[in-house]
Structure 1
C-alpha cells in the first residue's frame, strides 16, 4: 500500500509539471489555429503593436521626471522598427506628460500600420500577417520548449533553498512564457513595416501572384518567400503551402525520393542444389541409409 501511495504521488507530481506546459501550449496553438484557418489577425496585431511600443517607451521613460528620459535612445529604437511620425528629439520635455507621450506613440504605430495596409492592399496585408506570424511563432515556440526542458532539469535544486520546486517552476515558466509572447510581437513589428513585397507574372501568363522576400534585417525569419494566389483564393497559410509554394530544388528532391520509394525492388533468383534442400533428419543424399545429420551433415 505504501508503495502504491508513493507511486501515486510521483505520477501526480509529473502531471502537475506537465500541466504548466499544457496551459502554455493551448495558448500558442490557439494562435496557430487562427493563423492556419485564415482568421483576420489585424485587430490582434494593432493591439499588440501598441503594447510593444508601450513596453519600449517605459524602458526609456523610467519615471515622471523628463530630465531622466532618454528620448534620443527611444527615437532610435522606434525608428528601427517602423516609420515613426513623431519627432521625439524636438519635443518640449518641460510640457510633455509621460502617459500622454506613450499614448501618442501607441496611436502613431497603429496609424503607420494602417498606412502599410493602404500601400499593400487589405488582401495582401492579411496574407503577409499570417505568413510572418506563423514563421515567428513556430521558431520561437521550439526555442521555448527547449528552455522549459532545461529549466525542469535543474528546478529540483531549488529545494535546497527551501523553495518548492513546483512553485518555482510555475513562476519561472510564466515569466519565460510572457517573454515568449512579447518577443513574438516585437519581431513581428520589426518585419511587417519593412518587408519587401513584389508581384510577378509567372511565364508571362495568368494573374500576377504575390511573392515577397526579406529586408536587410538579420534574423532566422528574414529569408522567406511565398507563392500563391490572393488571400481570398487562399484564406490560410496552410492553403498557401498546399498551393505550390515549394522551391523547385526542394520539390525536385522530394520527387526523386518518391521515385526511389516507388521503384520496384530487384529480386535475385538462384538455383538451389538438391544437397541444400536435405533436412537434417532426412536420409543422406549419398545413399548410405543414415540420416543426413549423422552422415554428410555431421
Structure 2
C-alpha cells in the first residue's frame, strides 16, 4: 500500500496529512479492482475541483499546452534514439541475427515505450502546472465609454470627434425674454449676444 501511495503522490501533490489518510483508506481495500476504482475516483474528484478553480476553458488550454510540450520533447528524443539504433543495428549481424528483423522489433518496442512515456508525463504534469489568473478590475474602476457623437450628413464621425475635442469651450449667451411684448432700447438684445438692443439689432429693427 505504501508503494502505491508513494507513486500516487508523484502524480497528485498531496500534503503529508492527506497522504497518511490515503494510506489508511487503501488499507481497508483488499482487491486490485477496489484499489483501482478508489484511486480513479480520487483522481476524478481532484481534477473536477481543479477545473472549478481555474474554469473549464482555461484547463482545456492547459491540457493542450502540456500535451504539445510533452509530445514535442519526447518525440525528438525518440527520433534521436531511432538514429542511434539504425547506426548500431548492423553489429547484431555478427551474432547470427538478422539486422532488419532486429531493427523492426526494437523500433516497435521503442514506439510502445514512447506512447507510455507520453501518457505518464502528461498525467504527472497536469496536476502540478501552476495557473495564474489575472485579477479583474472592480466595476467602479471600469471606464464608461463616451457616447459617439452624431455626425452631420457627409461628415465622418472621427472628424466630428476630433473637432469637438480640439474646439475651445465657450459659454453661449442665452436670449433674455422680456415679460412684456415690447422690447426696450436698454433691454438685452433678442439675439443673445449680451449687448443692449439699441447697440445690437435695434437699427435693423427700427
TM-score, scaled relative to structure 1: 0.40
Indicate how the Cα distance of structure 1 residues 109 and 91 shifts in structure 2: closer, same or farther if over 3 A, else same. closer
Indicate if the aligned counterparts of 2:82 and 2:107 stay in contact, CA closer than 8 A. Answer: yes
RMSD, aligned CA: 2.7
Aligned-partner SS, 1:163: coil
**How many residues in Structure 1 have an aligned counterpart in Structure 2?**
134
Gaps of 5+ in 2: 143-206
Aligned equivalents of 1:103 and 1:170: distance in 2? Answer: 37
1:90 deviates by: 4.8
What's the counterpart of residue 22 of structure 2? 87
Pick from 89, 100, 112 the counterpart of residue 34 of structure 2: 100
Aligned equivalents of 1:201 and 1:105: distance in 2? Answer: 34
**Corresponding position: 1:113 with 2:43:** no
Indicate if the aligned counterparts of 1:75 and 1:88 stay in contact, CA closer than 8 A. Answer: yes
**Corresponding position: 1:143 with 2:73:** no
Indicate how the Cα distance of structure 1 residues 163 and 130 shifts in structure 2: closer, same or farther if over 3 A, else same. same
Indicate if the aligned counterparts of 1:152 and 1:169 stay in contact, CA closer than 8 A. Answer: yes
Aligned equivalents of 2:69 and 2:33: distance in 1? Answer: 34
**Corresponding position: 1:152 with 2:89:** no
What's the counterpart of residue 173 of structure 1? 107
Higher relative contact order (CA 8 A, sep 6+): 1
Gaps of 5+ in 1: 1-70, 207-298
Indicate how the Cα distance of structure 1 residues 122 and 77 shifts in structure 2: closer, same or farther if over 3 A, else same. same
Indicate if the aligned counterparts of 2:13 and 2:128 stay in contact, CA closer than 8 A. Answer: no
Indicate how the Cα distance of structure 1 residues 160 and 107 shifts in structure 2: closer, same or farther if over 3 A, else same. farther
Aligned-partner SS, 2:52: helix
Structure label with greater radius of gyration: 2
Indicate if the aligned counterparts of 2:11 and 2:123 stay in contact, CA closer than 8 A. Answer: yes
